[in-house]
Structure 1
Amino acid sequence: MPRPSKPLISRSAAVAAALEIIDTEGLDAFSVPRLAKHLGVQAPSLYYHFADKAELMSAIALHVIGDVSLPRRKPGPDWPEYFVTLGLNFRTGILRHRNAAPVLLEALPRTVLLRRYEDAAQFLTASGVPDHLHVQILDGMERLTLGAVLTEAVRSPSSRATIFPNVDPASQPALARALAANDRTSKRLYEEMIRSFLHGVVRDEAIAAEPSALEA
């Protein structure tokens, strides 16, 4: 579809309006004609800023990610806490836009986040983390945080207050006992999951560096 010669709306206004529709009405309710109507323009006006709907969805995903603040922590031996805080900030930002969570999986290519990954790799270097661990850490953090947070984001309102909903103590006694013994919230479980992963990387690296009993 040809683009108009002059923009009637700004790119940022279109993205903000799209996210507002998704937040309030759900992702299924969103479409380019629906957005155009919301903005009081014709659909072709949107194509001045976006080549197609896919580009618009990518812009929405980037906007959501842009709301995630970076931790203010200097490099050092406690570097895992930087990523714990980053993961928690990511969780807060995504849960602020629950309905848009699936967009991140569908419309946020890893290539557009290379600047952030570069910054994180530089932070790891400055913290003394060996280069050969960086990809394991960065890729693992992406998979862990996206998987955990998006799963939480798409849960129905009725099941958000429980870790495992609808557990029947009669038919799932072990799981029921585990839930009764658990004192961590979803947020705390997520935080400890990140911390366990990162400290596990450090531990495994230390074990691998130790001489075997035969070599000692």
Structure 2
Amino acid sequence: MARPSKPLISRDAAVEASIEIIDSEGLEAFSLPRLAKHMGVRAPSLYHHFSDKNEILTEVARFIAGTSVARPRRRPGPDWPEYFVALALNFRQSILRHRNAAPILLQHLPRELFVGTYEDTAQFLLDSGVPAHLHVRILDGMETLSIGTVLMEAMRPPSTKSTIFPNVDKTSQPLLTEALATNPLTQKQLFEEMVRSFLHGIIRDHELDSEAVAG
């Protein structure tokens, strides 16, 4: 389809409108005609900015998982893991704000989305005294852990402390029932502690390896 000679809408406005539709009406309601109607334009106008629906959804994923995620304001130092904990929590908050878009992120999240920030993050790690050979382990691990965990949570109904594992039968599963009853952490706190444990585990392993070499 030929693109109009003059843009009638902005690319950013189309992405914002797409998110509004998906948030309020669900992903199944989203289409190019529905987006055009929402914006008060004709569908062909959208083709000035996007080649097809998939390109719009990719930009929606890029905005939710990238642009709208706040970067923590922390200086490099020995408490560097807390920078990543804060970043992971900000990522989680952005994703859960748009739960209906979770399937989009699974299918359309650009693989290179986070690579652009990794140079700065690697510099932050280096300035914090983290050896370069640990950087990929940290960055790749954080990406996998955050995306996998948060998207799984986003595609499930919101839970309380006692319903983190749904449909637990207290008769046939008494140990799990007791574990849920004594669990003091919310879903958010569990995620936070999981990220923190991952990062401190890397530190611990590195220190043990260094001690083994020195010994």
TM range (shorter): over 0.9
Q: How far off is 1:102 after superposition?
A: 2.1
* Alignment partner, residue 6 of structure 1: 6
Q: How far off is 1:32 after superposition?
A: 1.3
1:124 partner letter: L
Note if 1:15 corresponds to 2:15: yes
Post-superposition CA distance 1:147-182 (Å, at most 9, x none): 11111111125xx22211121100111110111121
After the TM superposition, which residues 59-208 of structure 1 pair with which residues of structure 2 at under 5 Å, given as runs? 59-64=59-64, 65-157=66-158, 160-161=159-160, 162-208=163-209
C-alpha distance in structure 2 between counterparts of 1:141 and 1:112, whole Å: 14
C-alpha distance in structure 2 between counterparts of 1:2 and 1:197, whole Å: 50
For these two proteins, the number of residue pairs brought into alignment is 212
C-alpha distance in structure 2 between counterparts of 1:133 and 1:112, whole Å: 21
Post-superposition CA distance 1:109-151 (Å, at most 9, x none): 2213322122211111111111111111111111111111111
Unaligned runs of at least 5 residues, structure 2:
none
Q: TM-score, normalized by length of structure 1?
A: 0.93
Post-superposition CA distance 1:16-58 (Å, at most 9, x none): 1000000001111111121112112222110101122222111
* Alignment partner, residue 26 of structure 1: 26
Task: Give the aligned CA root-mean-square deviation in angstroms.
Answer: 1.4
The answer to whether the 8 Å contact 2:22/2:101 transfers is yes
User: What secondary structure, in the 3-state scheme, does the structure 2 residue paired with 1:211 have?
Assistant: helix
1:106 partner letter: Q
Q: TM-score, normalized by length of structure 2?
A: 0.94
C-alpha distance in structure 2 between counterparts of 1:143 and 1:28, whole Å: 27
The answer to whether the 8 Å contact 2:62/2:110 transfers is no
2:8 partner letter: L
Q: How far off is 1:93 after superposition?
A: 1.0
C-alpha distance in structure 2 between counterparts of 1:172 and 1:47, whole Å: 55
Q: Which runs of 4+ in 1 moved over 2 A?
A: none
- Percent of residue pairs identical: 64
1:34 partner letter: R
User: What secondary structure, in the 3-state scheme, does the structure 2 residue paired with 1:112 have?
Assistant: coil
Q: How far off is 1:95 after superposition?
A: 0.9
Unaligned runs of at least 5 residues, structure 1:
none
